Structure 1
């Protein structure tokens, strides 16, 4: 249903995004090697990716890179290789002939053992060799193997030049398409370096599919359809108020719909509960950033309170925390843009997520 809080896996549970799904399939059909799914947090990138992969009818591996990073503190090559192969084997498990051919190709890799739907290594794996075998198998079967890295910007924290490995595959392995998603769009672009002549992927073509927030009428329709699915009819004013507060961010709209329609809270109770849950979630997201520098939190507080220009934001930060030189302050602002917590239009900064803005505005600076 539309108000399911888990990432969607079927088109019928995914509201709209027809153009994005069509563009993804077009890129796969054309044999493009690098696809980027971009957008701020809670716009449904994981859901779009799930549905696009399922509908591609191609073998694929999907890896949640953020989860790997927070589980292991880095992304070792052995862990990533195992995740790729386990996921790929699982997606072809129902196609016996295809799976057997994949197993045969992989069995030629020294030190790799396949047991059921998982692999083990007796020696440190060579991920480049593994990708070569996957590409060869896919080409022989007249298929493409899709390798999707969700929240791929975390690959940059591994200490391994995964950007170089992807560049090698893009140049030399025509049977593989890489799909990378990122909510920290600036950090993902920095990791890839498509426009940086010092980076391995410089000059490579990438299909960029950017998810936008719903327009107002789409948000209203999303909530109306979702409530119809669960059999309730809230007043039009309630829907309008929710849309006004949540501003087309599908993750928040879904959470409100779940609280109001599935848990059957009143409108005011649902909004209160949403902001209570959001405060905990957003604080968890921001805490590691603020641990690096309290100024990040105070910058966000300044913008949430209506300081939108470089000079007024800096004045607020210096009033709260003392002097900071211009160069250091500009770096902090640039990082927040890369992380997706701020956006800039002309000379003005803003927080693109209205719920984040409201939560940050109400958080006490003493917590930081």
Structure 2
């Protein structure tokens, strides 16, 4: 009898192993990947795929990047593909734009987009306008990327969000990823695009890990530029955000769900071109709109969204005025308690939802 029980037990174990194998064959594999590593994977795969791609910027090579986003790339590709530059944004941005005009596909890293102000003439006058001014004869396939918006304890000169600034300019595409999937798929699309693309990352998101699906782990994975993603469906209010604020909106939505309020959270992913269709379709379902961003209110991304909704077919579906949740209209303070009160918090989003729903 003992031998018989062992036989059946071993048979069950064998069946269990087979079932587990079959399950893993058919179910999508997921992997925890930080935003930093997702960006690194995207650049690595595109450097390997296309010999015209190269990376340049301050400390991107031997130091592995100020935020370790380019970790290991210099050792793998060498000095000709991963290039350390002097502290001169106007200089190395100009070199990158010239290289793009000559047929290469540079990735130009700014240590923070606040420092891109030194190079904005190159980004706008040299890169953004050339394709149009040449009647489509001279593409400028370049990516400008780096951390954007508020970090922590770095005060005013390192904390500005430039999403509205750069998305104001025709000729540029402007991307603002939130998750690891966003970071990898959008950056790969940006590198392959024949237009100049600004990729606005967030320093506080670099170390945050997300599940990366089997599809997103593929070297062929890209996310279309100009298409938003509904991160959480809902039918009471539409929350529209980009970058780090997407996570804040999801956290606020989780709290509000316990009170019976279902928020639809839209991750813009792309600031220019803006996916107005997805926002309008959501408003037609929820009848309420709140935009959330870390930047300043005046002439911001939220202001543009509100204007488009007012001018379009979704306006007639609104049951309450659209509300903007933004950073405070001041230079970023250094003190933490003042800093926390200068950028949107989860409680601010919850308050705005309840206000627009008259709760």
Structure 1 and Structure 2 fold alike (TM over 0.5): no
TM-score (ref. length: structure 2)? 0.32
- Which structure is higher in RCO with an 8 Å CA cutoff and minimum separation 6? 1
TM-score (norm 1): 0.31
Q: Structure 1 or 2: larger helix share?
A: 1
